[in-house]
Structure 1
């Protein structure tokens, strides 16, 4: 079967609303490489959108899943529980930031983790309102879309959205939004739109994912924590994309002198198996009544087994430090190229969560066309890249942290070549 034949079948059988970037179809993959059905190889700098920090088919994950397959594949944890779920919750509670008692619940998707964070926040505080930020992405469910700060393509034609969700501008110096302006906008929100005593939670990504890998300034995070403490608001960190060593810390919030009340996790938690988590202060997590949290597939046994292996690999292969080493190599190469590629507006990121933003050199306006050109040229040479950003003018780099040095060098050479064309 060829890629073209499969493309025809896909178009006939599946809806256009599931946007698909590539016109080729995967056949097999290993670590940071992927082969299509015509046996063409690609270096994978997408990692299934930040899911494969431990690479494709890490042997320890495969072994853990196979071992669990020999026991059972499903009971529904809330019907018949199993030890792996409890042990993983204990491990997450131990590594999550905060010197206080924590509890963790597992779900299937990042959007589910976010939905349940809002449920817990509302149940614990007795308040309805939630504040999110422009450029943030929190999922494709109705509440996830309401929280997301980007209309196209995520919100087009899907309203009305849940009420009592408000947005404030995220501080991005490159785009002219300072920390002071963002904090002032929150105060305006409290005066014009919602009493802070009605706000259950403020939710944000420490490093925005779909929004363009913008890193929250430390002063902003510290001010948010103080603001939340002042008004009895819970601080929720969405670590769905940033978690599990990607930023050079186990969690991105560890880069700050701030501890959130609740943390959402997914993506690289289980190395490709569908698993998400919500971890938070024990008293908050216990606020919903029994039966208020859960889901038929939540905490699937195979995914739980894979997640245990992920944590073992991150520890044993020093992937937190590896993220910093790889991220620095990438940023050094991009900053070298920047001297001759005037379209590069900024190179940014924490650890291996790195992005490059493009603008028109003459007007300084966002240049989505140049980003698409680079992405297409790289794909033609066998390097898979993702774009992002409110203006779609950013390329983000999400290679597995287990990528071999020689393969990383090959990918960086391709990247440098296509940036110069």
Structure 2
């Protein structure tokens, strides 16, 4: 592994032009470990935002070709997306990112339909939690139908993170995601899932969408995959898509060969050591520990998680940042998200001992700030 890594680092090849043995090994590992059934069209690039960017370009291209074939003209320029979404800070992605305004303000953006996000409120007990989120979902569906009524065939796709990570670790029900699948099928739109943060085992399955029995038309991936890109399904082949017409989407390095060598090894380890299943089991332990912290500290609320992708809320951003800093002082890395959330992202092979120690440190950090 190390010899191959050094070899490609010393002679970095332009993946867009030459299909090398290390590239082929990576594609085979991706197919064996990460490919969803039927989603056998890949495009690799550097950066999660560029992965999402090219998912949208694939949708624009697909929809315009559909419209031209039907005699509707060159329509297909809009993407339906959601509030509190983060999809990146490149060209098209800035029009769908809407978390921290500092990340996109003053840059020109498109005015595309933005839908309220029907996130689950884990502070509510059942059956109130379900009735609350159903009302939110119904509102979101009304907004989507209103956007379709207004823009018609100019809508190319619908873009969503299965869990909105930077926006606050916002979770959605499978019932809602399946409704989105139906709407996209009914109105000839592509369903695009941004799994840059939720993919590659962290939720307890290779892809978060697998929990909900929903298969999108395109998945954007990155981060844990080491190399970034998109994986697309059979609907793209209904036209001469970006995967068929040469250079419609392209990149000199095409995902970076060094990253691909590393990703090949990581994917095989995930497969050999059943790390997605491990993340599911360890995630239950972590979530139980966070619930115990909420019982001990009244400031901790909205405990939530899927696999090792877990988060808590505290009353405000100032307290949240202070707890983060206190955790840093105790040699624990923790991230913030949303307005007042702390998110935990342990490694896939995390041990029970490390999780226990992490929960102890978080307990100490919360106590130091809250007291």
Which residue does the alignment assign to 2:69? none
Tell whether the 8 Å contact from 1:65 to 1:305 is kept in structure 2 after alignment: no
Give how far 1:262 is off.
0.4
Gaps of 5+ in 2: 65-75, 124-131
Using the size of structure 1 for normalisation, the TM-score is 0.76
Gaps of 5+ in 1: 1-63, 360-366
Tell whether the 8 Å contact from 1:134 to 1:168 is kept in structure 2 after alignment: yes
Task: Assess, with a 3 A threshold, how the Cα gap between structure 1 residues 300 and 77 changes in structure 2: closer, same or farther.
Answer: same
1:284-334 CA deviation, whole Å, 9 max, x = no partner? 276122112221222221111111111111112221121112211221111
The answer as to 2:300 corresponding to 1:312 is: no
The answer as to 2:69 corresponding to 1:113 is: no
Give how far 1:199 is off.
1.0
Which residue does the alignment assign to 2:140? 182
Corresponding residue SS for 2:52? helix
Tell whether the 8 Å contact from 2:80 to 2:114 is kept in structure 1 after alignment: yes
Task: Assess, with a 3 A threshold, how the Cα gap between structure 1 residues 103 and 65 changes in structure 2: closer, same or farther.
Answer: farther
Which residue does the alignment assign to 1:171? 118
Which residue does the alignment assign to 2:232? 280
Give how far 1:65 is off.
4.9
Give how far 1:93 is off.
4.1
Corresponding residue SS for 2:14? coil
Provide the rounded CA distance (Å) in 2 between the counterparts of 1:218 and 1:348: 16
1:244-285 CA deviation, whole Å, 9 max, x = no partner? 100000000000121100001100002xxxx20211025627
The answer as to 2:208 corresponding to 1:252 is: yes
Task: Assess, with a 3 A threshold, how the Cα gap between structure 1 residues 309 and 181 changes in structure 2: closer, same or farther.
Answer: same
Which of the residues 324, 334, 341 maps onto 1:394?
A: 341
Provide the rounded CA distance (Å) in 2 between the counterparts of 1:96 and 1:401: 15
Provide the rounded CA distance (Å) in 1 between the counterparts of 2:63 and 2:28: 25
Provide the rounded CA distance (Å) in 2 between the counterparts of 1:400 and 1:187: 40
Corresponding residue SS for 2:230? strand
Q: How does 1:345-360 map to 2 (within 5 A)?
A: 345-359=301-315
Using the size of structure 2 for normalisation, the TM-score is 0.86
Corresponding residue SS for 1:401? coil
Task: Assess, with a 3 A threshold, how the Cα gap between structure 1 residues 221 and 97 changes in structure 2: closer, same or farther.
Answer: farther
Q: How many matched pairs?
A: 341
Q: Decide which structure has greater helix share.
A: 2
User: Which range moves more in the overlay, 138-147 or 89-98?
Assistant: 89-98
1:128-159 CA deviation, whole Å, 9 max, x = no partner? 1111111111111121111112242311232x
Which residue does the alignment assign to 2:129? none
Task: Assess, with a 3 A threshold, how the Cα gap between structure 1 residues 83 and 284 changes in structure 2: closer, same or farther.
Answer: farther
Which residue does the alignment assign to 2:7? 70
Which residue does the alignment assign to 1:132? 81
Provide the rounded CA distance (Å) in 1 between the counterparts of 2:22 and 2:288: 41
Which residue does the alignment assign to 2:248? 292
